[in-house]
């Protein structure tokens, strides 16, 4: 058995599910918002998730996840903006510290859950997450579909980079619940 070497272990990279492709982005409307059914479904799930995090006796991981997804999308809009609005003007989202507070509140809720507690937001966290989600809802209603699909793609790429160990200084830990 001389000369045989042990096979090298392959490096396992986390599998990231992509919701949209560049093709979806090109085919999305450059002037109209996302279809009403999609926006209604997305916003309904988001607000139900927030309500559960605020008041439900036992909020689920999905409640936390839909709120985190919306906050991540708004973070992409803030850090990668400005974005073109339907009327041609630039939409600039002012970052007044609430976005960082919302990210921190959701990360703390996730850590609390991993430590055996329930996924809860504290009072300041509720205010920050609610304000950020209100901004996200407004942006979702006004930005063209192409911009939102691009935002979604960039957010998925950023999360894939974080999972692969390529973090930026402002990135927080991704919690897999």
DSSP states along 71-135: HHHHHHHHHH--EE-TTSPEE-----SHHHHHHHHHHHHHHHHHTTS-----HHHHHHHHHHHHH
List pLDDT tens digits, range 42-73. Answer: 999 999 999 999 998 889 999 999 999 999 99
Judged against a pLDDT cut of 80, whether residue 116 lies above it is answered with yes
Residue ranges of the domains in the chain? 35-162
């Amino acid at each position: 058995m001389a000369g045989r070497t042990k096979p090298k272990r392959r490096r396992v990279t986390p599998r990231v599910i992509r919701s949209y492709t560049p093709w979806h982005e090109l085919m999305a409307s450059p002037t109209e918002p996302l279809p009403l059914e999609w926006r209604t479904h997305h916003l309904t799930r988001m607000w139900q998730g927030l309500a559960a995090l605020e008041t439900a006796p036992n909020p689920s991981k999905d409640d936390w996840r839909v709120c985190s997804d919306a906050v991540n999308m708004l973070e992409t809009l803030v850090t990668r903006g400005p974005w073109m609005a339907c009327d041609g003007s630039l939409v600039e989202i002012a970052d007044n510290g609430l976005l960082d507070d919302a990210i921190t509140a959701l990360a703390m809720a996730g850590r609390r859950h991993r430590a055996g507690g329930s996924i809860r937001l504290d009072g300041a966290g509720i205010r920050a997450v609610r304000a950020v989600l209100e901004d996200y809802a407004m942006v979702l209603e006004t930005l063209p579909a192409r911009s939102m699909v691009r935002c979604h793609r960039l957010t998925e790429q950023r999360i894939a980079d974080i999972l692969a160990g390529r973090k930026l200084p402002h990135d927080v830990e991704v919690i897999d619940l």
